[in-house]
């Protein structure tokens, strides 16, 4: 990646005068801050240059293929945005994959078995996600149990609930007006718009990302989030309502995981209690690649979005080349390690 090269050179050169040093430091800092954007560009360029061709056409750049990339990435992306908030306060949420499964099951069961409409289903499922996040936030913030432990338990609980609710197997969603059929509107989640190119889940991801970016840039709440992640004690002493902010952050994460679960059910026409297995790791990976520090206090949703897209392009590139799936895991692991390693090199301001 580009930023790595730059730092090494910077370290090797003799010390420049203070004025220049400050400028350089700001420049280097910006590189690190948006490492995933540069990484995304780099991976994208590699994917284009080494794209498989068919009759001279670069298959990677095919509009359908690019749409596939964002579609496949949208669920992880939505979860990763929520995860960014949690990690910014120095927490972690391991339950999002299981909450996605629970929400997918909930969507299917409510519409198919209980004949709920789309709006009612979406509202109930999002409320479940929100409430689940609320409970985890309370357990973590109020009772001071580590987020890792709380959400590890939450992961088991959400998975168990999903299995109980679904009767242990996937609930297929058929569309129609009759009993036992889901409203056709819900099938929109599996569709593509704008001439059949842009997948609806990608649009939802985009809206979530934009709202989160604006929110994190402008609100007082966001300043509290960064303050807690930076130094919780100092934040508390300066009057930041730490417990409340932390609980809200977990609520946001649960809410977005449930939203991803609804999208998941709509894309696959099924609510399966085992779905979303391991997705929490992909979401955390997107955040880490995005340059958000796992210690909290530093990071951005822009970085996370780029990190998620980077993973998506990488998956697609490796898939198009038919790279052995086990090797794919190795490559993804290495990318995460490199991204995290780069953050260690980031100068503290």
Tell me how many degrees the CA angle 141-103-75 measures, rounded to the nearest 5. Answer: 90
- Structure token pair of residue 335: 């990318």
**Is the Cβ–Cβ distance between 101 and 159 less than 8 Å?**
yes
Complex with another protein: residue 292 or 315, whichever CB lies closer: 315
Name, in order, each residue with C-beta under 8 angstroms of 47's C-beta and a sequence gap of 6 or more. Answer: 60, 313, 316, 317
Q: Residues 211-250 vs another protein: string with x where CB under 8 A?
A: ----------------------------------------
- Structure token pair of residue 14: 């003799």
Shortest approach of another protein to residue 107 CB, angstroms? 13
Looking at residue 296, the DSSP 8-state letter turns out to be S
The answer to whether residue 330 forms part of the interface with another protein (CB under 8 A) is: no
> CA–CA separation, 51 vs 71, rounded Å?
19
Shortest approach of another protein to residue 173 CB, angstroms? 7
Residues 2, 62, 146, 219: which binds another protein (CB under 8 A)?
A: 62
Residues 54, 178, 220, 349: which binds another protein (CB under 8 A)?
A: 54
- Structure token pair of residue 183: 């409203």
The answer to whether residue 345 forms part of the interface with another protein (CB under 8 A) is: no
Complex with another protein: residue 73 or 249, whichever CB lies closer: 73
> CA–CA separation, 207 vs 81, rounded Å?
11
Q: Which helix (H) or strand (E) holds 244?
A: helix 242-268
Of 217, 184, 192, nearest in space to 117 by CA: 184
Count of chain residues binding another protein (CB under 8 A): 38
Complex with another protein: residue 175 or 221, whichever CB lies closer: 175
> CA–CA separation, 13 vs 267, rounded Å?
53
**Is the Cβ–Cβ distance between 80 and 92 less than 8 Å?**
no
Shortest approach of another protein to residue 101 CB, angstroms? 11
Shortest approach of another protein to residue 123 CB, angstroms? 22
The answer to whether residue 137 forms part of the interface with another protein (CB under 8 A) is: no
Complex with another protein: residue 141 or 257, whichever CB lies closer: 257
Shortest approach of another protein to residue 94 CB, angstroms? 18
Residues 16, 64, 211, 341: which binds another protein (CB under 8 A)?
A: 64
Q: What are phi and psi of 214, to 5 degrees?
A: -60, -45
The answer to whether residue 113 forms part of the interface with another protein (CB under 8 A) is: no
Stretch that binds another protein, among 21-29, 37-45, 162-170, 231-239 (CB under 8 A): 162-170
Shortest approach of another protein to residue 62 CB, angstroms? 6
Pairing of strands 192-193, 53-54: unpaired
Complex with another protein: residue 75 or 240, whichever CB lies closer: 75
101: Cα within 13 Å, side-chain hemisphere? 28
Q: Residues 164-183 vs another protein: string with x where CB under 8 A?
A: ---xxxx-xxxx--------
Of 146, 162, 136, nearest in space to 251 by CA: 136
**Is the Cβ–Cβ distance between 347 and 25 less than 8 Å?**
yes
User: 240 by DSSP, 3-state: which?
Assistant: coil
Q: Residues 260-299 vs another protein: string with x where CB under 8 A?
A: ----x--xxxx-x--x-xx---------------------
Complex with another protein: residue 50 or 148, whichever CB lies closer: 50
Residues lying near another protein in the complex (CB under 8 A): 52, 54, 59, 62, 64-65, 68, 72, 75, 167-170, 172-175, 184, 187, 190-192, 196, 264, 267-270, 272, 275, 277-278, 315-316, 319-320, 322, 325
């Amino acid at each position: 990646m580009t930023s790595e090269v730059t730092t090494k050179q910077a370290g090797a050169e003799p010390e420049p005068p203070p004025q220049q040093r400050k400028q350089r430091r700001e420049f280097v800092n910006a590189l690190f801050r948006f490492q995933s954007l540069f990484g995304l560009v780099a991976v994208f360029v590699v994917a284009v240059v080494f794209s498989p061709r068919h009759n001279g056409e670069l298959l990677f750049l095919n509009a359908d293929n690019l749409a596939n990339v964002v579609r496949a990435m949208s669920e992880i992306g939505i979860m990763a945005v929520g995860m960014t908030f949690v990690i910014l306060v120095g927490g972690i949420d391991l339950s999002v994959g299981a909450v996605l499964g629970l929400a997918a099951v909930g969507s299917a069961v409510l519409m198919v078995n209980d004949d709920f409409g789309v709006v009612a289903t979406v509202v109930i499922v999002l409320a479940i996600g929100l409430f689940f996040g609320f409970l985890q936030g309370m357990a973590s913030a109020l009772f001071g149990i580590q987020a890792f432990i709380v959400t590890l338990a939450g992961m088991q609980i959400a998975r168990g609930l999903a299995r109980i609710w679904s009767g242990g197997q996937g609930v297929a969603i058929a569309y129609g007006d009759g009993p036992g059929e889901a409203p056709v509107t819900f099938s929109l989640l599996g569709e593509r718009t704008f001439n059949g190119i842009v997948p609806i889940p990608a649009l939802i991801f985009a809206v979530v990302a934009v709202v989160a970016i604006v929110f994190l840039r402008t609100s007082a709440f966001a300043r509290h989030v960064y303050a807690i992640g930076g130094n919780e004690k100092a934040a508390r002493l300066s009057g930041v309502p730490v417990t409340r902010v932390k609980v809200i952050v977990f609520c946001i994460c649960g809410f977005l995981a449930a939203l991803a679960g609804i999208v998941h059910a709509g894309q696959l026409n099924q609510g399966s209690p085992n779905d979303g297995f391991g997705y929490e790791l992909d979401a955390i990976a997107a955040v880490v690649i995005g340059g958000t520090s796992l210690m909290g206090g530093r990071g951005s949703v822009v970085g996370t979005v780029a990190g998620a897209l980077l993973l998506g392009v990488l998956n697609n590139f490796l898939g198009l080349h038919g790279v052995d799936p086990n090797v794919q895991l190795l490559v993804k692991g290495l990318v995460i390690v490199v991204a995290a390693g780069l953050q260690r090199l980031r100068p503290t301001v």
